[in-house]
Structure 1
Amino acid sequence: MSHAQRRTSAIALLAAGLASVVLTTTVPAHAAQPPAPPSTADRADQGTITPFTPTVPNPTTATRAQLDAAASPVRKKASPFLAAPQGLAAASNVAGPISRAEVIARARTWVAAGVPYSMTNYRTDANGRYRTDCSGFVSMAWHLSSSSANNWGETTGTLLEFTSSIAKESLKPGDILLNPNPGASGHVVIFNGWANAEHTRYDAYEQAGSVGAVHREIPYPYWSGHGTFSPRRYDNVIDEPQLTNAVHLQRIAPNGELFNAEGDYATGRWSGWSNQGASQLKEVTSTGTGAVNRTFAVGGDNRIYENDGDYATGKWSGWYALAGSPEVKAVSAASDGNTVHLVAIGLDGRLYNSDRDFAGGNWNGWTDHGGNGLKRLTSATTADHVNHIIAVDANDQLMELDADYAARKWSDWQVAGPAGGFRAQDVTATASGNTVHLGAIGLDGNWYNTDGDFDRGSWNGWWNGGGGNLKRVTSAMANNVNHVFAVRSDNTLTERDGDYNTGQWNDWATPAGGGDATALTASFTQ
């Protein structure tokens, strides 16, 4: 049976295996564990900078022959490689396979720490020990071997040994633009995505002589007068598992029942709506971890219930109550790998949070994070493991609270989005990399969008995406396309998609053959 056939069978089994249940009963649930206290440690790893005497005149651009000639047999034999970094999610081994997300995460640490440029200093931090020039920076980001034998990192010349030539249009985050010239013009930068639709500018990380570690936009392939650059790919870089192009759209009908439809964007086809076996529901959210779509709903008793659909096996867990769930009126889920961050607005208008690692842990209990008369909320987790929580407060103002799971710190509540704030009826958010795509239904019933780049700390301003007479909204992102679903004032559904690969948005259209809804959610799985 083909992969497509297995997936179709799984979807059919999911639809067929649902059993009705009214979510007002008490079900034995997992025991909760007390949450770990947040750390007050600063996110930026301060590290240490140490001068050293290079074995060659120019350690940035030296050739392999020059390095081998300069290194004594004793030095080659006695120089151990540093251990794998601590504190980075899914950290790679030295010189082993590494994901593109980890490459960018490691590069980001030097930018956050403001590491200055030097060909004769090395930096020691959680990433290891690496020379603080351009090729040392790439060696650090790729987690290459580092020792005194190679002057604490590879050179622009020796990076050729670890890479393969690729076409311009094949560039992905974590690849490089390299000028291997052994002279003074040798340089290398890390590609992080295109900055315009024409592919004439790109987002990059580099260790530059004039500014040190920097994240900035660069003309392709590099500024003139700096030699010839070409795109190359590290031979040990691995692509993260891709989300499928099929969205799981769920809606609560006016009678409180939950329905699900599958939209395949590869074929442009939708399945029919299937009843997910629940009633008296008020709110719903969902998120994917691997091949599992995890649905959380607010039942008639204001408690949170969960139902997990495994699209690899075609089985649902069945509905069950979450341990110690407070009484809530709104809920939002975001995932980071196998971990789900679940946030909810209590009947008291305050925000509550609980987390679970589905790779082998229980929910860690509910914690109170305040808020002023909160009414609606959304959440999205960026690549740096920060969960961005945006809520509509008592004054209809969008407010944001960030949970930094890398630093184990929570921010204070602050106005969300561009300066000046925004008043909204409902709100939704997705993330790609460290960018949050924030959508909201304004008080005029139109949908508005803004994108926040949390690497640069900037938003691009709200723009009116229309729609008219909208009252609820959700969104889900896959393959750099943001799919926005909304409920009109007459309870009918509408959809609009924004392709961030091309910079184009389509027009509003009816998804899944239509249907009535009072609330909705959408998510993708692998």
Structure 2
Amino acid sequence: MVIFTLRRSLAVVCAVAAAAFGLTAVDAARKVAPAQAESVPNGTITRAEVLSRAQNWVDRNVRYNKTRDSGTLITDVEGDNRYGPDCSGLVSMAWHMTANAGKGGNSTYDFLDSPDIIPLPSAHSLLPGDAILRGGHMELFARWKDPADHTKGAWTYSLNGTGDPDSNGWENDWAKGPAANSHGQRGEESWSSIVNDYTPVKYRRIVDEAPLPQGRVSVYGVQPDGRLTYAAIDAATGRRTHG
């Protein structure tokens, strides 16, 4: 009776300890890094989600129109908010901002005056999900073409327009990013343009992804015959070592 109680108590303790680390005997190796929750409008948002939201417009073949007429506004990935299919509308959508929702998101001039926009010390400080901004145009920074040499320019997410709209304001430019869209267009900016024509900025609510967990988790268990089991799990890789 004492042995049974001891075994049951030990099993409960082990189960609680495993649960505290998000682990079970079956899926301990798979749950070492919980998935990031999606953002809410005007809340904190990870750089990875910003880029994912921008890519959604590329995948949906969003076409440029700067009129901001109601019939031209495009929904975000959730379908809850509508934005103008132009340069600042794309960035408003990617950052999950709902300021000026009645007109399809911020304009570049709204961004220039916004307390949510933080100028960066230099273009070298740009990180994925930041932006380059000037009155009249802006682009979402995706990554450097060569991380070791920024003077080779950057890949961006953008809607640029052509200056030749049809009677409804549509222009033959589509949302584009580092990889060519369905029209063969890519988003990119030269180093000279970045440093001479724009201000590098970041969104105040953007956050870096959480670092991978480090260290090792120990998980104990009890076999039906009373033998104790032990496994050590590397928190970063999920690799399990049995004792």
TM class, shorter-length? 0.5 to 0.7
Task: Give the counterpart letter for 2:37 in structure 1.
Answer: A
Task: Give the counterpart letter for 2:87 in structure 1.
Answer: C
Task: Give the counterpart letter for 1:199 in structure 2.
Answer: H
1:170 corresponds to which residue? 125
Residue 164 (structure 1) shift: 1.1
2:161 corresponds to which residue? 209
Q: Measure the CA separation in 1 of the matches of 2:59 and 2:36.
A: 17
Which SS does the other structure have where 2:127 is aligned?
coil
Counterpart mapping for 1:25-44 below 5 A? 30=26
2:38 to 61, 86, 91: 91
Contact 1:129–1:146 (CA<8 Å) still a contact in 2? no
Higher fraction of helix: 2
Residue 208 (structure 1) shift: 1.7
Percent identity (aligned) = 32
2:214 corresponds to which residue? 291
1:219 corresponds to which residue? 190
Which stretch shifts more, 140-149 or 205-214?
140-149
Q: Measure the CA separation in 2 of the matches of 1:89 and 1:242.
A: 11
Q: Measure the CA separation in 1 of the matches of 2:149 and 2:191.
A: 10
The answer to whether structure 1 residue 191 and structure 2 residue 141 are counterparts is: yes
Residue 89 (structure 1) shift: 5.9
The answer to whether structure 1 residue 122 and structure 2 residue 73 are counterparts is: yes
Change (3 A) 1:29 1:158: closer
Deviations 1:441-488 (A, max 9, x none): xxxxxxxxxxxxxxxxxxxxxxxxxxxxxxxxxxxxxxxxxxxxxxxx
Change (3 A) 1:307 1:165: same
Which SS does the other structure have where 2:97 is aligned?
coil
Deviations 1:112-149 (A, max 9, x none): 11100112221124343211111010000000015553
1:231 corresponds to which residue? 200
Residue 163 (structure 1) shift: 0.7
Residue 309 (structure 1) shift: 3.2
Task: Give the counterpart letter for 1:123 in structure 2.
Answer: I
1:308 corresponds to which residue? 233
Counterpart mapping for 1:394-473 below 5 A? none
2:242 corresponds to which residue? 319
Change (3 A) 1:156 1:291: same
Residue 212 (structure 1) shift: 2.0
Contact 1:134–1:206 (CA<8 Å) still a contact in 2? yes
Residue 168 (structure 1) shift: 1.3
Q: Measure the CA separation in 2 of the matches of 1:208 and 1:91.
A: 28
Change (3 A) 1:89 1:238: closer
Contact 2:142–2:154 (CA<8 Å) still a contact in 1? yes
Deviations 1:43-95 (A, max 9, x none): xxxxxxxxxxxxxxxxxxxxxxxxxxxxxxxxxxxxxxxxxxxxx96211111
TM-score of the superposed pair, with normalisation by structure 2: 0.60
Q: Measure the CA separation in 2 of the matches of 1:223 and 1:170.
A: 12
Which SS does the other structure have where 2:92 is aligned?
helix
RMSD: 3.3
Deviations 1:180-237 (A, max 9, x none): x2xxxx100011111133312011111121322011332025389xx83110111111
Change (3 A) 1:111 1:310: closer
Higher fraction of strand: 1
Residue 310 (structure 1) shift: 4.8
Task: Give the counterpart letter for 1:114 in structure 2.
Answer: N
1:143 corresponds to which residue? 96
Q: Measure the CA separation in 2 of the matches of 1:291 and 1:172.
A: 24
Deviations 1:302-338 (A, max 9, x none): xxxx740358xxxx98629xxxxxxxxxxxxxxxxxx
Tell me, which stretches of 5 or more residues in structure 2 are unaligned? 1-23, 28-34, 163-172, 178-186, 218-230
Q: Measure the CA separation in 1 of the matches of 2:198 and 2:85.
A: 21
Which SS does the other structure have where 1:158 is aligned?
helix
Query: Relative contact order (C-alpha < 8 Å, sep 6+): which is higher?
Result: 2
Task: Give the counterpart letter for 2:161 in structure 1.
Answer: G
2:3 corresponds to which residue? none
Which SS does the other structure have where 2:175 is aligned?
strand
Moved over 6 A (4+): none
Change (3 A) 1:178 1:125: closer
Change (3 A) 1:191 1:293: farther
Tell me, which stretches of 5 or more residues in structure 1 are unaligned? 1-27, 32-87, 244-289, 295-305, 321-526
Q: Measure the CA separation in 2 of the matches of 1:101 and 1:148.
A: 23
The answer to whether structure 1 residue 108 and structure 2 residue 50 are counterparts is: no
